[in-house]
Structure 1
């Protein structure tokens, strides 16, 4: 079942308020101008009688409308921002560089403008993103068998204690605590929405989570308990498999994941996650629909909690659960990621997943 579009009155009110909840998922076509826009477009708002709403960009084109040049509805919002794109490119060229506000000024940017733009699009500042990127470099050094001091230098930290503290804030423990003879292996995998940590054994994926999710240290500690402290750095064939599947997913050539999953949770929680796995790419459900599908129509809140406890991001698609009114609801990876994922998966609605 596809998302039930909210009423015209709801969408028009969202347009007037520039409500980001529908951004990238519903578009407004304006008869008086012949253009279509995001609901967050900064242009002057059209009259009710001139508006129609469509779910996809292709529907807007089919109806004879052209894209707005101000809000650029055919382009992911973040990459259309003239502040964001050049800084992301600069960060990828120098991932281990210690970026600071003087660097932004030298590049011709106002630090406060950069701060607002990155917070709006990514939920973090550019400098926070750069710090996270440096830690990735250090993590990769450790995963490749390097020493802690090598990882510290690669990550651009002058102080060993500062590196350990930054590392512990993300993973909940310092690098020296990791096992030298692990049962589970941790390494980071890349994605256009930011780095993720994958924890695998030789046959299954146990955890896949965005590096900046607040609940990540707690999730990692629970997995440490399960593995009796035997989590170490390293990459397995399962890590390579999930990286390849993520690459195809974001390239729009594969909406299905075949990696074997280890589901850690109560019986009810696992049932919810298995139900999530039945939602095809490009479709959505609300919590009450999930509860009914499980034969527990009264358990809407319990379903929501289980959905939020998912520790296999993207693969177990908790991002495909929305509010009953069609609006975005909470997502541990950030609403901006949820919006991008739903927007990306629109391409899978009419094209069978690879």
Structure 2
């Protein structure tokens, strides 16, 4: 079912009531103060005529509103919703369960609220995640070379035809074709500016993107086509490593990322991406400056395209490229995230310099 956007009056009522169900689903932009807030903000509520509701923080910032210092919407975004956290824990406890809306109701949740919360956070509903998780279990069984019927029963499918259809739709191959094949693992990593999806094999990281990036589904399909591998939900050592390194990064540690990256892209794109990785923390480059770094000063547009084709966010630091006039330029994760990352790195360097001066 498609979700219909609530009316202005409905959203305003939710704002006045500090309704947590709408927290993260939409944000209020206050025209009289030029700030935007979460629905649960404790600040005095504005008049309805001074409220504009936007669905994303990016839209708020692009419209010229700045984040509220009281409810700090940009920092709060990464905190897991208790509803989301509880359902994900239930899913992990029983990954082969065939979840339905009746199960969600039995746990005391409203299905539309659950759907809205998961769609906002991960770009897919809880039931879609559960279906992927169940099919992922089956794909892992098949990749070990075990019989198709065992994978079917492990995944909780009574119908062989239904199982074949589900596996083929999700992984682009029939169950029998997955037997003994290696799989790419995919999992979400929580960050202060929203969850990221990491996809890796047992040796290298193939993708790291913010989960709400519109281009993410196409990137995953392209990755599957290029690698000839199916993608299943789950973690491996590579994802554990990048999750730990991202945690250090967001806690202010300036250590370089060490996770091995898969060798995607053309030779030119790889040269651009390597140059991006060499930009120091706290430093920015223009597209023309980046072109000069790789000895291709006339290839500014090609450098910009390669920058946009990067699918390893933060690690390959395309957020450190800005306009020649110092302005923020496009960023797949949203300009507000680019601004947040640059400010975070500025503070990171500032603290490192203060510590060095104190020890010197």
Give, in whole Å, the separation in 1 of the partners of 2:96 and 2:119: 21
TM-score in terms of structure 2 length: 0.57
Q: CA deviation at 1:273?
A: 1.7
Question: Where does structure 2 lack aligned partners over 5 or more consecutive residues?
Answer: 1-23, 25-32, 48-67, 353-360
Aligned to 1:124: 124
State the secondary structure of the residue aligned to 1:188.
strand
Q: CA deviation at 1:222?
A: 1.9
Give, in whole Å, the separation in 1 of the partners of 2:335 and 2:86: 19
Q: CA deviation at 1:328?
A: 6.4
- Bigger drift between 294-303 and 120-129 goes to 294-303
Aligned to 1:207: 206
State the secondary structure of the residue aligned to 1:207.
strand
Q: State whether structure 2 residue 148 is matched by structure 1 residue 148.
A: yes
Q: Whose RCO is larger (CA < 8 A, sep 6+)? A: 1
Q: CA deviation at 1:315?
A: 4.6
Give, in whole Å, the separation in 2 of the partners of 1:150 and 1:336: 47
Aligned to 1:220: 224
Indicate conservation of the 8 Å contact 1:136/1:188, yes or no. Answer: no
State the secondary structure of the residue aligned to 2:201.
strand
**Residues 47-72 of structure 1, C-alpha deviation per residue, up to 9 Å, x if partnerless?**
xxxxxxxxxxxxxxxxxxx963xx45
Q: State whether structure 2 residue 95 is matched by structure 1 residue 91.
A: no
Aligned to 2:133: 133
Aligned to 1:186: 183
Q: CA deviation at 1:286?
A: 6.5
Indicate conservation of the 8 Å contact 1:72/1:80, yes or no. Answer: no
Aligned to 2:332: 330
Indicate conservation of the 8 Å contact 2:104/2:110, yes or no. Answer: yes
Aligned to 2:27: none
State the secondary structure of the residue aligned to 1:89.
helix
TM-score in terms of structure 1 length: 0.58
Q: State whether structure 2 residue 191 is matched by structure 1 residue 198.
A: no
Question: Where does structure 1 lack aligned partners over 5 or more consecutive residues?
Answer: 1-22, 24-31, 47-65, 225-230
Give, in whole Å, the separation in 2 of the partners of 1:136 and 1:87: 18
Aligned to 2:38: 41
Aligned to 1:247: 244
Aligned to 2:270: 270
The 3 A distance-change label for structure 1 pair 321 and 145 is farther
Give, in whole Å, the separation in 2 of the partners of 1:138 and 1:178: 10
Indicate conservation of the 8 Å contact 2:288/2:300, yes or no. Answer: yes
Q: CA deviation at 1:248?
A: 3.9
Indicate conservation of the 8 Å contact 1:134/1:155, yes or no. Answer: yes
Give, in whole Å, the separation in 2 of the partners of 1:157 and 1:296: 55
Indicate conservation of the 8 Å contact 1:199/1:208, yes or no. Answer: no
Indicate conservation of the 8 Å contact 2:205/2:259, yes or no. Answer: no
State the secondary structure of the residue aligned to 1:173.
coil
The 3 A distance-change label for structure 1 pair 214 and 176 is farther
Give, in whole Å, the separation in 2 of the partners of 1:195 and 1:115: 19
State the secondary structure of the residue aligned to 2:185.
strand
State the secondary structure of the residue aligned to 2:225.
helix
Aligned to 1:105: 105
Give, in whole Å, the separation in 2 of the partners of 1:297 and 1:117: 46
Q: CA deviation at 1:188?
A: 1.4
Give, in whole Å, the separation in 2 of the partners of 1:254 and 1:165: 47
Aligned to 2:176: 176
The 3 A distance-change label for structure 1 pair 242 and 113 is closer
CA RMSD of aligned residues (A): 4.7
State the secondary structure of the residue aligned to 1:256.
coil
Task: Report how many residues are paired.
Answer: 279
